[in-house]
Structure 1
Amino acid sequence: MDFPTQISAIEARIKQIDPVKYASTRNFENGAVTYLSPYISRGVISTQQVMNYVQSLDLPWYKTEKFVQELAWRDYWQQVHIDKKEAILTDLKNEQSDVTNHEIPSAIVAADTGIIAVDEAIEKLYETGYMHNHMRMYVAAICCNIAKSHWLVPAKWLYAHLKDGDLASNHLSWQWTAGAFSNKKYVANQENINKYFDSDQTGTFLDIPYSAFEHLKIPKILLRTEKPGFNLCFPETSKAGIKSDQKTLIYNYYNIDPNWHSEEKAQRIFLIEPSFFQKYPVSQKSLDFALELTENIEEIQIYVGEFSELNKEISSDNIIFKEHPTNNHYVGKSEDRDWMSDVKGYHSSFFKFWKKVQKEIKW
Structure 2
Amino acid sequence: MTATSISPKSSPDRLSLSELEAYIRTIDTSEYTKTRNYIGGSTQLSEYISRGMISLPRIRELVLEKNSFSASFKFLNELAWREYWQLTWTAIGDDIFDYIRPIKDTVRPAMPEAVINAHTGIVALDAGIRQLQTTGFIDNHMRMWLAGLVCQVAKCDWKVGAAWMHSYLIDGDYASNHLSWQWVAGSYTGKPYLPQQDNINTYTESLQKDTYLDQGYGEIASMEIPEILLETVDVLPAHEATLPEDTVTLDGLNELKNADTILLYSPWTLDPLWRKQDKAIRVLLIDPDVFSNGRFSQQVIDSIVWFAGQVADLKIICEPVKNLEVLTAAIIRKSYPGITTWPGIVDEPEMLFPEVPVAFYPSFSSYWKQIKKYSMTDQQSLF
Shorter chain as denominator, the TM-score bin is: over 0.9
* Aligned equivalent of 1:297: 311
Deviates more, 1:190-199 or 1:344-353: 344-353
1:267 pairs with 257, 275, 281, which one?
281
2:89 pairs with 78, 81, 91, which one?
81
* Aligned equivalent of 2:145: 138
Unpaired stretches in structure 2, ≥5 consecutive residues = 1-11
2:226 pairs with 216, 219, 222, which one?
219
1:45 pairs with 38, 54, 78, which one?
54
Query: Structure 1: which amino acid aligns with 2:272?
Result: P
2:44 pairs with 9, 19, 35, which one?
35
Q: Does 1:324 align with 2:331?
A: no
Matches within 5 A, 1:351-362: 351-357=365-371, 359=375, 361-362=381-382
Moved over 6 A (4+): none
Residues 280 and 186 from structure 1, CA distance in 2 versus in 1: closer, same or farther, beyond 3 angstroms? farther
RMSD: 1.9
How many angstroms does 1:332 deviate by? 1.6
Aligned-residue sequence identity (percent) comes to 34
Matched position secondary structure for 1:303: strand
Residues 106 and 161 from structure 1, CA distance in 2 versus in 1: closer, same or farther, beyond 3 angstroms? same
Instruction: Provide the C-alpha distance between the structure 2 equivalents of 1:215 and 1:298, rounded to a whole number of angstroms.
Output: 55
Query: Structure 2: which amino acid aligns with 1:331?
Result: P
- Contact kept, 8 Å, 2:83 with 2:351, in 1: the verdict is yes
* Aligned equivalent of 1:338: 350
* Aligned equivalent of 2:136: 129
* Aligned equivalent of 1:69: 77
- Contact kept, 8 Å, 1:156 with 1:280, in 2: the verdict is no
How many angstroms does 1:97 deviate by? 3.0
* Aligned equivalent of 2:269: 255
How many angstroms does 1:58 deviate by? 5.1
How many angstroms does 1:79 deviate by? 0.5
The structure showing larger relative contact order (alpha-carbon pairs under 8 Å, at least 6 residues apart) is 2
Query: Structure 2: which amino acid aligns with 1:298?
Result: A
Instruction: Provide the C-alpha distance between the structure 2 equivalents of 1:275 and 1:209, rounded to a whole number of angstroms.
Output: 45
1:283 pairs with 279, 290, 297, which one?
297
Matched position secondary structure for 2:71: helix
Instruction: Provide the C-alpha distance between the structure 2 equivalents of 1:209 and 1:110, rounded to a whole number of angstroms.
Output: 26
Deviates more, 1:125-134 or 1:7-16: 7-16
Query: Structure 1: which amino acid aligns with 2:239?
Result: F
- Contact kept, 8 Å, 1:13 with 1:34, in 2: the verdict is no
- Give aligned pairs, total: 357
Residues 208 and 138 from structure 1, CA distance in 2 versus in 1: closer, same or farther, beyond 3 angstroms? same
- Contact kept, 8 Å, 1:13 with 1:36, in 2: the verdict is no
Q: Does 1:165 align with 2:172?
A: yes
How many angstroms does 1:339 deviate by? 0.9
CA offsets 1:17-65 (integer angstroms, 9 cap, x no match) = 221111122101132x210000101111111111111222251x22111
Q: Does 1:13 align with 2:13?
A: no
2:64 pairs with 40, 43, 55, which one?
55
How many angstroms does 1:6 deviate by? 2.8
Instruction: Provide the C-alpha distance between the structure 1 equivalents of 2:186 and 2:294, rounded to a whole number of angstroms.
Output: 23
Unpaired stretches in structure 1, ≥5 consecutive residues = none
- Contact kept, 8 Å, 1:250 with 1:269, in 2: the verdict is yes
* Aligned equivalent of 2:242: 233
Matched position secondary structure for 2:96: helix
Instruction: Provide the C-alpha distance between the structure 2 equivalents of 1:71 and 1:329, rounded to a whole number of angstroms.
Output: 26
Instruction: Provide the C-alpha distance between the structure 1 equivalents of 2:34 and 2:357, rounded to a whole number of angstroms.
Output: 29
Instruction: Provide the C-alpha distance between the structure 2 equivalents of 1:91 and 1:278, rounded to a whole number of angstroms.
Output: 26
Instruction: Provide the C-alpha distance between the structure 1 equivalents of 2:297 and 2:260, rounded to a whole number of angstroms.
Output: 33
Instruction: Provide the C-alpha distance between the structure 1 equivalents of 2:164 and 2:87, rounded to a whole number of angstroms.
Output: 23
Query: Structure 2: which amino acid aligns with 1:233?
Result: T
CA offsets 1:252-284 (integer angstroms, 9 cap, x no match) = 111111010012221100101112235993212
- Contact kept, 8 Å, 2:25 with 2:66, in 1: the verdict is no
* Aligned equivalent of 1:97: 104
Q: Does 1:24 align with 2:34?
A: yes
